[in-house]
Amino acid sequence: MTTFQSVFASFLSGDGELYRILGLTVCMTLLSTGFSVLAGFPSGALLASSSFPGKKLLRRIIQTFMGLPPVVAGLFVFLLLSRKGPLGDLSLLFSLPAMVIAQFLLIFPIITSLTLSAIESKQSAIRQTISTLGLPRYKMYLLMLWECRRSLLTVILTGFGRALSEVGAVMMVGGNIQGKTRVMTTAIMLETGKGNFGTAIAMGLVLLILAFIVNIIANHFQEAVYE
Amino acid sequence: MIKRSLITHARKSTVLITIALLVLLPACRQAAADTTSAVDTSIALTSSQADESVPETTSMDTTALITEAVVPEPENPIVRLSTTTSVSDSGLLPVLEEIFEKNTGYDLEIIANGTGAAIKLGESGDADVLLVHAKASEDEFVTAGYGVERIPFMHNYFVVAGAAEDTAKVAECQDALSAFAAIADAEAPFISRGDDSGTNKAELKIWENAGITPSGDWYISAGKGMGPCLIMAGEMKAYILTDKATFLATKEETELQICLGESGDLKNTYSLIAVNPDKNQGVNSEGAQAWIDFMLSDEAGAIITDFGLEEYGEPLFFYDGAPSIT
Amino acid sequence: MSDPQKRPALLSDFDEPVTLTGLKQVWQNRTVLDIPKLQLIPGRRYALLGANGSGKTTLLRLITERLSAENGQIGYLPQKPYAFALSVRHNIGLGIPPGLGLSNEEKESLIDKQLDKLNLTELEAARGNRLSGGEAQRMALARLLVIPRKILLLDEPTSSLDLNSLSEAETALTAYLSSQNSLMVLSTHQLSVARRLCDEMIFLDQGLIMAAGPISGLMNPIPDSRLSLFLRYERGMNSVE
């Protein structure tokens, strides 16, 4: 139990290493969720309001990718960025950008699919009203997203939670390098591998608390936006 | 009209689910069959071990031939071996596992972890026997009463591997101390396991002996197993201290070279330790002993000595056998 | 989309009568609408009459699909207009297309005018999705009337209004029409509204035009025609005629 307390103590006292890990975790998660939302919201809105041959098939494909195994995504990105791979010259392997890329592959389908579902029900009524108002297309999508904002907030949280808890892909393409790509989840794996179970559990709790805080902030937003 | 489409939907889903189950069911049965057939085959072959020309037969055939008494199935057939990722990455264990299981009827479960966790599993009784290579930690383990006895039985050497370019000119060094010094001077990228493993501890010892505290961007502490670290070293064209076995096993993938081969200060000793059954419940000490006996046998010795010879042209491990009683 | 009759006709100067042909819609093996030819003359106000399910909404929708114009020259008010979760002011402002190049002050004053005309000034800052049915309908009408439009297509705009809102809406609409001289097609099943606001009528029954002509034709329908049956039914429904 003493390692437990020592982890929290060192955390509260501002121990550099733990802060670095936490900082990297938050940075990576915000970036992957951010990019996924920036790409996923418009994609979902666009898909919801268009109909074209093969839409059903495309929808099934996206839903399948929602369940993409993280290690598969990790392997794919690894091979892509490896020195022998097509993008090897960019020297991106074992870096924060690599982790963000792998996470984006995992989270973008989730956000797109959930956004599509959220907007579907309202899109036809909105489109009918907007149709002759002469508004540009992007404005219509913005309005759709705004009208479904409550569900969309949950969508963002889902993506965020996924990114925060990811370990397989992040380990493969990040490399768990101390100070550079070590995030909470991979650090927990390392400590567990070392046998420092107390430390690992303590870090796990810190991660949970972080997720909890994010949820509180999000709820705050919901209240504000509701009124 | 709606009703009709509902019925066809229900029918379609039933068909799909039935197909899925039919595909999965044999897989489950196969898995169950594997464990039982392994026991069957071992019983059959044990009785015919004297005759070395017995061909590999299925459990069905041999069981039919058995008339004499067979080796009784052990009461607790599962032996949990806790070992390190380096050992696991070298590929040696599955070979030994197969023979062991055939010979004794035990079912060996191999759990690979970092050295720290591997030993911890022994402390908590989640393993029956350890195969690790970190002398200091092993001694602690036995002294604290968790292990029965430390039995060193084989060794190999660490080597310093690096990219073909060898920017720090490690190949010109005579021993590990000077090699590490050269790397530190050149600030060439160096990958450390960073995970308190046996390899990591050996590496840190060398830095200590060389009087160098490695720090800076060139010193990369990756918290990963030996195999993944080697791959990283290959990617980043960095130096790394590794055991020869895992190096050879991943050589093709990493395109690394040995810059400093075996030297006196790079010996890496592997030991077997049976977990003390008195400290925890449910420890299979008979099974552990069976494994240790097997590993100290000539048969195992031959397998270990030959391992890797054909593929790499040199042995990966050097077998010492049971330590001589003095 | 390759059928030339089906492609949207561009209205840059709507001074000539527009003829639409082949207005047909089939839904689940039922012919919902089948109008071979429809002529709309600028400045006229058409009342689209018919029972529920006669194809009024479909016809209005098809007209919007066939006619295309820029910058909101065609205004369409659906039966259940969508009220966005923004302020009433913002909602009305959505009716002003950005392409017109109006300054912010001009936009604000247009919105103010509508707020005043439809008695929505007090609700200016209220959330659109929190309004009552009648208030939301008035807001949607304000959104429609906020800028001059060449064509107005309204689908049952007054059906859910109470008497007070109804008179405000009608006054606003009448004033708009007299100043803008827009073409209007207004679907309704309230004869009084039709008579007050329109000068031509089109009667739909099961997707077909059964009668069309000046609104005075409602006074002397052909006996036992579908129209006369409809009128009798409606008169029975609204005894105040």
Q: Place B40 in a pLDDT band, splitting at 50, 70 and 90.
A: very low
Q: What is the domain count for chain B?
A: 2
Q: What is the pLDDT of residue A104?
A: 97
Chain A partners of C140 at a C-beta cutoff of 8 Å?
A: 129
pLDDT at B41 over 80: no
Q: Reduce the DSSP state of residue B66 to 3 states and report it.
A: coil
The residues spanned by each domain of chain C are 4-82+150-237
pLDDT at A185 over 50: yes
Stretch A158-187: mean pLDDT, rounded? 93
Q: Are residues B215 and B254 in the same domain?
A: yes
Identity of residue B97 = E
Identity of residue A98 = A
Long-range Cβ contact pairs of C111-118 (< 8 A, separation 24 or more):
C111/C146, C113/C146, C114/C142, C114/C143, C114/C145, C114/C146, C114/C172, C115/C88, C115/C89, C115/C142, C117/C142, C117/C145, C117/C168, C117/C171, C117/C172, C117/C175, C118/C142, C118/C168, C118/C169, C118/C172
Mode of pairing for the β-strands spanning C183-188 and C30-40:
unpaired
Chain B partners of A178 at a C-beta cutoff of 8 Å?
A: 194, 220-223
CA nearest to B295, candidates B106, B108, B96: B96
pLDDT at A164 over 50: yes
Q: Are residues B143 and B234 in the same domain?
A: no
Do A97 and A24 contact (CB within 8 A), yes or no? no
CA pair distance A33, A158, nearest whole angstrom? 9
When comparing pLDDT for B311 and B299, which is higher?
B299
Q: Are residues B281 and B139 in the same domain?
A: yes
Stretch B27-44: mean pLDDT, rounded? 52
Nearest by CB to residue A193, choosing from B113, B221, B236, is B113
CA pair distance A36, A100, nearest whole angstrom? 10
How many Cβ contacts (< 8 angstroms) between chains A and C? Answer: 43
CATH of residue B228's domain is 3.40.190.10
The second-level CATH assignment, the architecture, of A2-226 is: Orthogonal Bundle (1.10)
Q: What is the pLDDT of residue C231?
A: 82
Chain B partners of A179 at a C-beta cutoff of 8 Å?
A: 221
Q: Are residues B170 and B246 in the same domain?
A: yes
Q: What is the pLDDT of residue B73?
A: 72
Q: Place B62 in a pLDDT band, splitting at 50, 70 and 90.
A: very low
Kindly write down the DSSP assignment for every residue of C22-80, as one continuous string.
EEEEEETTEEEEEEEEEEE-TT-EEEEE--TTSSHHHHHHHHHHHEE-STT-EEEE-SS
CA nearest to B163, candidates B185, B188, B182: B188
Q: Are residues B99 and B148 in the same domain?
A: yes
Over chain C, what is the mean pLDDT?
Answer: 84
| Domain contains B210 | yes
Q: Are residues B150 and B289 in the same domain?
A: yes
Residue C170 neighbours by CB distance under 10 Å: 17
The residues spanned by each domain of chain A are 2-226
CA nearest to B218, candidates B193, B197, B242, B187: B187
Q: Reduce the DSSP state of residue C202 to 3 states and report it.
A: strand
CA pair distance A15, A11, nearest whole angstrom? 6
Q: Are residues B172 and B203 in the same domain?
A: yes
| Contact yes or no for A146 and C74 at CB 8 A | no
Q: Are residues B287 and B147 in the same domain?
A: yes
Q: Are residues B87 and B122 in the same domain?
A: yes
CA nearest to A21, candidates A157, A169, A154, A186: A186
Q: Are residues B218 and B97 in the same domain?
A: no
Stretch C169-178: mean pLDDT, rounded? 90
- For residue C188, give both structure tokens: 């309704």
Q: What is the pLDDT of residue A107?
A: 96
Q: What is the pLDDT of residue B259?
A: 83
Stretch C100-125: mean pLDDT, rounded? 90
Do C173 and C145 contact (CB within 8 A), yes or no? yes
The CATH superfamily holding the domain C4-82+150-237 is P-loop containing nucleotide triphosphate hydrolases (3.40.50.300)
- For residue C132, give both structure tokens: 């009552």
| Domain contains B23 | no
Over chain B, what is the mean pLDDT?
Answer: 83
Chain B partners of A197 at a C-beta cutoff of 8 Å?
A: 120
CB proximity A174 to B under 8 Å: no
CA pair distance B108, A158, nearest whole angstrom? 41
CB proximity C98 to A under 8 Å: yes
Nearest by CB to residue B224, choosing from A175, A179, A192, is A175
Residue range of the domain that includes B84: 78-156+267-319
Do C63 and C51 contact (CB within 8 A), yes or no? no
Nearest by CB to residue C81, choosing from A129, A147, A149, is A129
pLDDT at B100 over 90: yes
